[in-house]
């Protein structure tokens, strides 16, 4: 991965004795085809291992960088609180999950769209393929997505595995 890759070929060649033709015209048309490009680097998933007792909160940060030459948007789906999928059947069966997002131009560091901490389930309706849009000219072809996950545990969160199946769809327009 290192920016644009160029490949070209010569067209409209002329290999002829044109001595008797008079004025000679050669086509000099130039065509250019830009191929779509999207390279994704990073991770958005988090796994916590928690021990001890009582109430507490924790925060985790993830970063994904998108190298692109098309307009991108993002559709969030299936985000919400962490639900217990195995372990004790007593106590609280969910753990609240909040998320914070910041999209920025990775080349200049300029923030482009920021969303403070919200319940993770709200992302499903707040972020869609329609808005916001991130054209390659706006991001200089490098879009960074910083995501913070925050959980808050209570004494009622008994042993077990909790899960949220959130999905991020990258929409290319």
Q: How confident is the model at residue 163 (pLDDT cuts 50, 70, 90)?
A: very high
Instruction: Please indicate, yes or no, if residue 1 is contained in any of the structural domains.
Output: no
Q: Is residue 42 very low, low, confident or very high in pLDDT (cuts 50, 70, 90)?
A: very high
| Portion of the chain with pLDDT greater than 90, in percent | 68
Say if 122 falls within a structural domain. Answer: yes
- Residue 10 inside a domain? The answer is no
Residue 137: inside a domain, yes or no? yes
Q: What local confidence, expressed as pLDDT, does residue 7 receive? A: 77
Residue 107: pLDDT over 70: yes
Instruction: Identify any residues that bridge with 131 across adjacent strands, giving them in sequence order.
Output: 128
Residue 63 lies in a domain: yes
151 lies in a domain? yes
How much is the pTM? 0.85
- The reported pLDDT for the residue numbered 75 is 93
The range of the structural domain enclosing residue 159 comes to 38-172
Secondary structure (H, E, C), 10-60: CCCCCCCCCCCCCCCCCCCCCCCCCCCCEEEEECCCCCCCCCCCCCEEEEE
């Amino acid at each position: 991965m290192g920016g644009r890759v160029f490949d070209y070929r010569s067209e409209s060649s002329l290999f002829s004795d044109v001595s008797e033709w008079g004025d000679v015209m050669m086509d000099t048309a130039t065509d250019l085809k830009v191929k779509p490009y999207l390279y994704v680097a990073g991770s958005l998933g988090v796994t916590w291992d928690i021990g001890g007792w009582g109430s507490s909160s924790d925060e985790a940060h993830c970063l994904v960088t998108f190298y692109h030459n098309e307009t991108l948007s993002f559709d969030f789906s299936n985000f919400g609180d962490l639900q217990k999928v195995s372990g004790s059947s007593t106590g609280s069966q969910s753990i609240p999950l909040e998320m914070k997002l910041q999209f920025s131009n990775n080349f200049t560091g300029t923030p482009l769209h920021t969303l403070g901490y919200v319940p993770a389930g709200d992302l499903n309706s707040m972020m869609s393929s329609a808005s916001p849009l991130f054209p390659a000219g706006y991001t200089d072809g490098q879009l960074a997505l910083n995501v913070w996950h925050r959980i808050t545990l209570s004494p009622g969160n008994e042993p077990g595995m909790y899960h949220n199946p959130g999905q991020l769809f990258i929409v290319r327009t």
